[in-house]
A = this chain, B = another copy of it.
Amino acid sequence: MSELSSKKPQAAPASLDGTDLAILAALVEDGRMTNAALAARVGVAESTCAYRVRALRQSGVIVSVNARLNLGALGHPIHAIVKVRLGSHNREHVRNLYDKLVAVPGALTVLHVGGDDDFLLHVAVESPEKLRDLILEHVTIYPVVQRTETQLVFEVREGRGVLSP
């Protein structure tokens, strides 16, 4: 279920000091860094560091910690972006399709965007044939989908993020 603008516990625009930012940068780099190592790196006592990290979690600044996998090693070496354009922008139609796209096997992220397209679906698949099947069976199958356009992804690189400046 998506919510499409229902308000949920949004993190207060917390006031983060240098220590917090250093902690965040370290955990983005290595989310399994031990509290001891983290404390040493940012220059505070271990108990203080643990306190800070807990506060950052509870306030929602740290959303979660997740393993990132090598999708090629898992048999999904092909990445693609499927641009999806809708014929109707009825609220229910949009919400329903969004839910469907998120549930597509191999879907990594789904962006609801404004502009030429409505959704950008980033998928990882086993092969080009599977990509075709995926689009036919899980995307264009819905009447609200007017048109799709697929781009092969040659390479994905992580950006520097928002913490560096």
Q: Are A65 and B66 in touch, CB under 8 angstroms? A: yes
A126 closest partner in B (C-beta): B162
**B151→A113 contact, CB < 8 A:** yes
Cβ contact within 8 Å between A24 and B69: yes
Shortest distance between the CB of A23 and any CB in chain B (Å): 9
Considering only CB atoms and an 8 Å cut-off, how many residues of chain A contact the other chain? 75
Report how many copies the assembly holds: 2
Chain B residues in 8 Å Cβ range of A160: 102-107
What would be 15 A-B contacts, judged by CB atoms less than 8 Å apart? Answer: A10-B73, A13-B72, A31-B32, A31-B66, A60-B73, A65-B68, A66-B68, A74-B162, A106-B162, A107-B161, A112-B157, A113-B151, A115-B150, A115-B152, A122-B159
